[in-house]
Amino acid sequence: MSVGTKSKRRKRKIGKTTPRFFICLIALLAAAVCWFAWGANSGGSKIGTQPQQLYFINAASSTWKTETRQITIGKRTDMISEALSLLAAGPRDASLAKSVPSPSLIALVTLESGTRPDAEGQNEEYNIVRVELTGEYNELSGVDAVVCINAIVYTLTELEFVHDLHFFIGEEELLRPNGQAMGLLNRTNVLLGDIPVLPEVVDSHDVRVYFADEDAMYLVSEVHSVEVSVSKPRETYIVEALLRGPQSEHAVQTIPSEARLRSVYSEGDMCYVDFTQEFVNKFEGGSSTERLMVYSIVNSLTELSHIKKVKFLVDGDNIVDPKGFHLDLSTSFERDADLIFTEE
C-alpha cells in the first residue's frame, strides 16, 4: 500500500510541475523573439555592431582596396551616416589615399523606401539612398570625382538594404561629363570593379603654407603650386611643401631639415602627422622657434576646411616629454591665427 501511495503522490507532483515549466519556457521564448524583432526593426534599439567595408585607393598600384570598420546596428539612416563618416575620415593604412576628399562634401543623406516587382512579379523591398553633395564636388578633378562617387556607391551597397544611390548637388541631379543625368547608380553601372585609377592622371593645385619670418616672430604665408593625384591625400602635399622649404628669401623653414614624413592622415576633423625621430631630436631653438615650427604645420593643414586640429606623432607613437621642448606635443593643436603676420 505504501508503494502505491508514493506512486500516486509522484504522479500528482509531476502533473502540477510540467505545465508550469512549459508555460515559463514559452513566455521566455516569446519575450526573446519580441526583443530581437524590436531591436532589428529600423526604428528599434541598437543591438550590436557589424563589419563595414570602406573603399580607398591603393597608392602603389593605383587600384581599389578596402578597410574594415565596425558600425552600430540600429536605424538604417544612422548606419548609412556612420558608414559615410568613416569613409570620409579616410584610411588608417598610410599606403592608401582618401576617396572622399572632405566630410563637408556630403551635405545630406536620406533613405527613400518603397517596393518593386521581383522576377516573379511579386513586390519586394526597394531602397534608394539620396546623397546631396555640396558645391565642393564641382571643384574636384575628373579623376577625384569618379573616385568619390564610386567609393560612396560601393561602400553603401555593402549594406544589404541599400539597392541604388541617387546623387544631387543641392536640388539639381548630378550630371555626367556629357551633360546627361547620372541617374540611379549601383555596382552594375559604376566604374569601380577591376578598373584601376590611372596613376599618371594629376592636377595642379595651389596650397597655402606657412613659414617663419626672418625675425622668428611671426608666420608668413606662401602659395605653392603642386601636382596632386588621387594616390595621396591633400594633407601630404602640404607637409611635403613645408619640408621642401620656402620659396621667398625672406621666409625661414621651421621643420628640421633631417626630419622625414612617415605618414599623414585625417580622422574626422583631426589630422595626424607622423614624423621620424629627427623631428624632435634635431630641433634646435627656444620656445619662440618651437612655437613657430608647430604652428607652421598646424596653420598650414587647417587651411583645409575639414581639418580643425592637428596631432603630432613620431615613428607612429605619441610624443612624450621631448627633450628641449616647452610645448606639450602629446596633445592636439588648433589653429592660431594670431601668429600670422598681416600688414596693417
Q: Which residue, among 280, 301, 289, 207, has the nearest Cα to 253 in the 3D structure?
A: 289
Q: Which residue, among 287, 278, 241, 229, has the nearest Cα to 257 in the 3D structure?
A: 278
pLDDT on residue 39: 43
Residue with cell 536640388: 171
Euclidean distance between CA atoms 81 and 290, whole angstroms? 40
pLDDT on residue 74: 93
CB-facing half-sphere around the CA of 250: CA atoms within 13 A: 6
User: Could you tell me whether strands 309-314 and 270-275 are parallel, antiparallel, or unpaired per DSSP bridges?
Assistant: parallel
Contact present, 269 and 309 (Cβ < 8 Å): yes
Inter-residue long-range contacts of 219-226, CB under 8 Å, 24+ positions, other chains counted: 219/292, 219/295, 219/296, 219/299, 219/339, 219/340, 219/341, 220/248, 220/250, 220/251, 220/340, 220/341, 221/340, 222/246, 222/247, 222/248, 222/251
pLDDT on residue 6: 37
What are the domain boundaries of the chain?
48-185, 203-339
One-letter amino acid for residue 80 of the chain: I
Euclidean distance between CA atoms 221 and 214, whole angstroms? 13
pTM above 0.75, yes or no: no
pLDDT on residue 13: 44
Count CB-CB contacts under 10 A for residue 78. Answer: 14
pLDDT on residue 43: 39
Q: Which residue, among 103, 58, 64, has the nearest Cα to 83 in the 3D structure?
A: 103
Contact present, 167 and 185 (Cβ < 8 Å): yes
Mean pLDDT by 10 residues, the chain (344 residues): 37 49 59 47 58 86 85 94 94 88 92 85 90 91 85 94 94 82 85 48 79 93 82 82 92 92 86 91 84 96 93 88 82 94 74
Q: What is the DSSP string of 64-93?
A: EEEEEEEEEES-HHHHHHHHHHHHHH--SS
